[in-house]
């Protein structure tokens, strides 16, 4: 045997033994490879006095003499085998063990003994390394278990801290006398947060005992429907203790835990946890739910919240149901309705012009108006119909056992009732109502969905002219989505960089010469391009942006007109004013500030208001118009003939001009009725010494007829299209042949009222 041969075997031996991941396996491999390398019939590894591996006899049957005299070596007679020459080598430091080999007939030579010792040392090193790794693994696992235990302890402490903080928040809400619905929401939200975001529902009985229990608050994810929740709540209230029930809603097993709510030992409701099955059996969740049910009891026991229990389900201003009660009774009605007839219909009412009344007359008058509107709405309903106030000036009617036709009939009855004048603090006020009607569809199972469809229909009613009822159609959803997007874009555009003004000349029909311009706002949307005023003005009015936008129009156009008047001294400016503006208390002062700041003379400005804007709050409008008249500003009634068209307000209001709506002008050459109406408006203006302006003149027949009728002024594409500011001055100078400033001013002023 050569030295190179032994080195090769030692290398292989080291590779195989050290490559094992387990001490027992490494020892077994070491014994097997030692026997092979040394051509030995027997190989034994003894560690701490125990045989760990034995090749040739088996681990359970090595000769006792071999293991007893392992370190001594020598010759050993084994029956059935013969004489064995035994040799032993220690495994090295820190390892109390021996590698023993035995060979029949031929003893080991020096080099083989050297290799045996090398193998023993390598096995000792491998065992030490594996023991070190095993010790490190055990230590690491112990540390990981300890870390996990610490995390679990920390999470338990945090959970307890969250519970304490949530209960303190509830206590603060109760002690600070927050509204009862807000306290309920804090309780259900806090409890839901502690049960991994699963559903918490608060069910309360009617204090008067007349109505069935209602869902006062809910938070979190649901696993079952309201029917199961109500059943669980009823069970807890009947048993007067915490009850658990299994459910199988929403495709997964769940558990309802319901804890009763007591006030002065009287059952008033139940707090229900709607949990997945894996959480339902945990005693800690039952304890948490009981703690929160006690918080509901504390809130209801409080003297002030006892008195406020009715407010949880009714609007304190009007006495009508509130949104929570509406949704609950609507949910019940949908659940009980006949799928074949779909006999649940909802009407969504929004008041047109209420914000203007509120702004001009104050919140007290606005509140009284809402109370009167609620009374009129209730008078239009049957017994059993539910009326609710769900927002500032928004009302919802739920009709059971009523189809779409019945809903339209009720909606039109309400619209007619609301249209009549209201008398508040000795003043006459007007509002209108827009209504959206939606009947439950076969696929509808959710109260919020039905309410949303009626809301969408109501917005369509507003878009189509207000003061009307519109029935929901599925295609409306896309339209309302587009409108909401446009509303968001409009809010973002109020820096006015996207807006511009065009000016349409107002022409004397007698001379054909321009006497002034009307300012027209334009919106150039960065993605949509030009957006017509008919699409965004109503949105601006609904959102309140109109006041800011209207002030910008007035200020910009006044500054521009003042600049033009340096070359065209008599030029006059007409500017449209919204109902929100005329209702603003400081509006006359605001106009005076703009005139002073831009240098435009007051007599050169005419403000155009619609009939509807004037009639929303006639007394406030009259007061503001008188202040404007004292400033020297003139007033024009825009779109005359399309609104109230009352002779009394033309006599009583300080009005200088009426504008004939373009719809009458467009049809008067082929409609005797429209021609008669236009003639009547011109005659009325003449008798009241008011200037008349015809809008939308598109052809020469219309122009000729208006001249024959005696209409003074006109606008329209036949006369002049709206133009950009740089084009206005050249247009006027081309059409005014008299070159002197003074004569130009006289020429223009000749077309104004009273000239």
**Partners of 267 in the beta sheet?**
262
DSSP assignment letter at 320: S
Structural element, H or E, at residue 346:
strand 344-352
Mean pLDDT check: name the lowest of 62-76, 357-371, 542-556.
62-76
Mean pLDDT check: name the lowest of 146-150, 340-344, 513-517.
340-344
Is residue 554 classed as helix, strand or coil in its secondary structure?
helix
Considering only residues 73 and 331, tell me which one the structure prediction assigns the higher pLDDT: 331
Q: Do 3-137 and 177-312 show the same overall fold?
A: yes
Q: What is the 3-class SS of 721-735, one letter each residue?
A: CCECHHHHHHHHHHH
Q: How far is CA 159 from the centre of its chain?
A: 29
pLDDT in the model for residue 755: 38
- Write the pLDDT tens digit of every residue in 212-255: 788 888 888 876 788 888 888 888 888 888 888 887 654 457 78
pLDDT in the model for residue 232: 87
Considering only residues 361 and 402, tell me which one the structure prediction assigns the higher pLDDT: 402
Please name the residues in contact with 585: beta carbons below 8 A apart, sequence gap of 6 or more: 359, 360
DSSP assignment letter at 697: -
Considering only residues 208 and 215, tell me which one the structure prediction assigns the higher pLDDT: 215
Say which residue the tokens 């029917």 belong to: 227
**Partners of 607 in the beta sheet?**
575, 635
Rounded CA-CA distance 20/125 in Å is 12
Take residue 376 and report the two structure tokens written for it: 């009129």
Rounded CA-CA distance 739/746 in Å is 11
DSSP assignment letter at 752: S
Q: Could you tell me if 327 and 449 are in contact, meaning their C-beta atoms sit under 8 angstroms apart?
A: no
What pTM was computed for the model?
0.52
Give the phi and the psi of residue 255 in degrees, each rounded to 5. -135, 135
Rounded CA-CA distance 292/432 in Å is 46
CATH topology of domain 497-663+711-748: TIM Barrel (3.20.20)
Rounded CA-CA distance 279/254 in Å is 9
Residue 419, classified by CB atoms within 10 Å of its CB into exposed (0-12), middle (13-18) or buried (19+), is middle
Give how far Cα 182 sits from Cα of 211, 269, 324, 393, 525, Å: 22, 17, 12, 21, 41
Percent of the chain with pLDDT over 70: 88
* pLDDT of 646 strictly over 80: no
Number of other CB atoms surrounding residue 337 within 10 Å: 16
Q: Could you tell me if 555 and 597 are in contact, meaning their C-beta atoms sit under 8 angstroms apart?
A: yes
Instruction: Give the mean model confidence (pLDDT) for residues 437-460.
Output: 85
Considering only residues 537 and 270, tell me which one the structure prediction assigns the higher pLDDT: 270
**Partners of 199 in the beta sheet?**
274
Strands laid side by side in the 199-204 sheet: 214-219, 199-204, 266-276, 254-263, 243-247
**Partners of 692 in the beta sheet?**
658
Domain 177-312: top CATH class:
alpha beta
Instruction: Give the mean model confidence (pLDDT) for residues 666-674.
Output: 87
- Write the pLDDT tens digit of every residue in 134-171: 888 888 988 888 888 888 777 766 767 777 788 888 88
Domain 326-474: top CATH class:
alpha beta
Q: Sketch the domain layout of the chain as residue ranges.
A: 3-137, 177-312, 326-474, 497-663+711-748
Take residue 123 and report the two structure tokens written for it: 């096995």
Instruction: Give the mean model confidence (pLDDT) for residues 693-707.
Output: 94
For the domain spanning 3-137, the CATH number is 3.30.450.40
- Write the pLDDT tens digit of every residue in 570-589: 999 999 998 778 877 889 99
Rounded CA-CA distance 296/273 in Å is 14
Residue 295, classified by CB atoms within 10 Å of its CB into exposed (0-12), middle (13-18) or buried (19+), is buried
């Amino acid at each position: 045997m050569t030295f190179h041969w032994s080195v090769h075997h030692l290398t292989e031996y080291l590779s195989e033994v050290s490559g094992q991941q387990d001490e027992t396996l490494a020892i077994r491999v070491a014994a097997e490879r030692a026997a092979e390398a040394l051509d030995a019939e027997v190989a034994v590894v003894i560690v701490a006095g125990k045989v760990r591996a034995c090749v040739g006899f088996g681990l359970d049957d090595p000769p006792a003499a071999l293991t007893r005299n392992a370190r001594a070596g020598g010759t050993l007679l084994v029956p059935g085998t013969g004489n064995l020459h035994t040799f032993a080598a220690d495994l090295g430091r820190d390892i109390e063990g021996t590698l023993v080999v035995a060979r029949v007939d031929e003893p080991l030579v020096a080099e083989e003994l050297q290799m045996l010792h090398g193998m023993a040392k390598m096995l000792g090193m491998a065992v030490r390394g594996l023991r070190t790794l095993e010790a490190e693994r055990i230590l690491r696992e112990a540390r990981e278990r300890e870390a996990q235990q610490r995390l679990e302890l920390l999470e338990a402490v945090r959970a307890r801290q969250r519970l304490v903080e949530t209960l303190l928040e509830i206590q603060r809400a109760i002690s600070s006398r927050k509204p009862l619905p807000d306290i309920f929401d804090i309780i259900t939200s806090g409890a839901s947060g502690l049960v991994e975001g699963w559903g918490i529902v608060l069910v309360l009985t009617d204090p008067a005992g007349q109505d069935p229990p209602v869902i006062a608050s809910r938070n979190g994810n649901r696993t079952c429907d309201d029917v199961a929740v109500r059943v669980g709540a009823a069970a807890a209230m009947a048993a007067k203790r915490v009850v658990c029930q299994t459910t199988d809603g929403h495709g997964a097993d769940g558990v309802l835990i319901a804890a009763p709510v007591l006030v002065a030992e009287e059952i008033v409701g139940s707090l229900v946890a709607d949990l997945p099955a894996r959480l339902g059996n945990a005693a800690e969740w039952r304890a948490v739910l009981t703690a929160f049910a006690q918080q509901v009891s504390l809130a209801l026991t409080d003297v002030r919240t006892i008195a406020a229990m009715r407010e949880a389900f009714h609007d304190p201003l009007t006495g009508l149901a509130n949104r929570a009660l509406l949704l609950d009774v609507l949910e019940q009605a949908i659940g009980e309705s006949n799928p074949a007839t779909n006999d649940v219909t909802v009407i969504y009412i929004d008041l047109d012009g209420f914000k203007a009344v509120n702004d001009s007359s104050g919140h007290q008058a606005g509140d009284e108006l809402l109370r009167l509107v609620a009374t009129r709405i209730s008078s239009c309903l049957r017994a059993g119909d539910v009326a609710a106030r769900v927002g500032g000036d928004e009302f919802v009617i739920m009709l059971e056992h009523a189809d779409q036709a019945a809903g339209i009939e009720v909606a039109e009855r309400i619209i007619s009732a609301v249209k009549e004048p209201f008398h508040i603090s000795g003043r006459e006020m007007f509002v209108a109502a827009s209504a959206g009607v939606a009947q439950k569809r076969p696929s509808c199972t959710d109260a919020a969905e039905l309410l949303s469809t009626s809301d969408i229909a109501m917005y369509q009613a507003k878009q189509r002219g207000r003061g009307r009822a519109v029935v929901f159609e599925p295609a409306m959803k896309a339209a309302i989505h587009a409108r909401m997007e446009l509303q968001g874009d409009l809010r973002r555009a109020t820096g006015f960089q996207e807006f511009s003004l065009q000016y349409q000349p107002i022409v004397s029909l007698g001379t054909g010469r321009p006497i002034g311009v009307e300012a027209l706002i334009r919106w150039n949307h960065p993605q949509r391009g030009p957006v017509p005023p008919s699409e965004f003005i109503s949105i601006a009015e609904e959102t309140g942006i109109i006041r800011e936008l209207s002030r910008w129009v007035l200020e910009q156009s006044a500054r521009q007109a003042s600049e033009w008047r340096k070359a065209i001294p008599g030029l006059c400016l007409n500017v449209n004013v919204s109902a929100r503006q005329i209702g603003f208390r400081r509006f006359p002062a605001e106009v005076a500030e703009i005139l002073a700041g831009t240098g435009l003379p007051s007599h050169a400005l005419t403000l155009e208001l619609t009939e509807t804007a004037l009639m929303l709050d006639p007394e406030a409008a009259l007061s503001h118009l008188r202040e404007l008249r004292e400033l020297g500003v003139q007033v024009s009634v825009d779109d005359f003939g399309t609104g109230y068209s009352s002779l009394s307000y033309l006599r009583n209001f300080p009005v200088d001009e009426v504008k004939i709506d373009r719809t009458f002008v467009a049809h008067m050459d082929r409609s005797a009725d429209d021609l008669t109406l236009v003639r009547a408006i011109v005659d009325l203006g003449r008798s009241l010494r008011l200037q008349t302006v015809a809008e939308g003149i598109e052809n020469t027949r219309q122009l000729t007829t208006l001249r024959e009728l005696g209409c003074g002024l006109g606008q329209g594409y036949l006369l002049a299209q709206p133009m950009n500011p740089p084009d206005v001055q050249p247009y006027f100078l081309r059409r005014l042949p008299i070159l002197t400033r003074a004569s130009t001013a006289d020429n223009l002023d000749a077309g104004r009222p009273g000239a």
